Copies of this chain bind each other. A is one copy, B any other.
Amino acid sequence: MRTDDKLYSITELAQEFDITTRTIRFYEDKQLLKPARRGNTRIYSGSDRIRLKLVLRGKRLGWPLDEIHEILQLYDQPGGEVQQLELMLSKISESRDALLVQREDIELALSEFDEIQIRCEQQLEILQKPKLHRSNQD
């Protein structure tokens, strides 16, 4: 449980994930991150880093930041109240549904790309071997 006691500066994280420090501070503004402070300086723990990773994954999936904020709350320990837990469960199933739609969309796009690619390659073959065609017709 105590394997991630490594700490990070804002520039370290920015470099690791190839984003700007401005972006990281912006996420903090939006309550997505809450790093500790030494004096005025932000210090990021291992779990802060994980949260940032989750944020970036959410971005890659096209979620807006406020949705990412909700999703992140799912990762925090559930309050323990029954209503809280049921709310969480319904949010999870909602998010899962959206993910399944996305996965379906991806499969469709991938197979369409396959078709387009095949057509492209066939066309290329025709264009790149014109002499074979001529010699066949001799």
A residues in contact (CB < 8 Å) with B: 57, 60-63, 74-75, 78, 80, 82, 85-86, 88-89, 92-93, 95-96, 99, 101-103, 105-106, 108-110, 112-113, 116-117, 119-121, 123-124, 127-128
Contacts and interface: CB of A to CB of B under 8 A. Distances in A.
User: Copy number in this complex?
Assistant: 2
Contacts of A102: 60-61, 102, 106
A13 B60 CA distance: 29
Contacts of A103: 103, 106
B117 A89 contact: yes
A113 B57 CA distance: 14
B128 A82 contact: yes
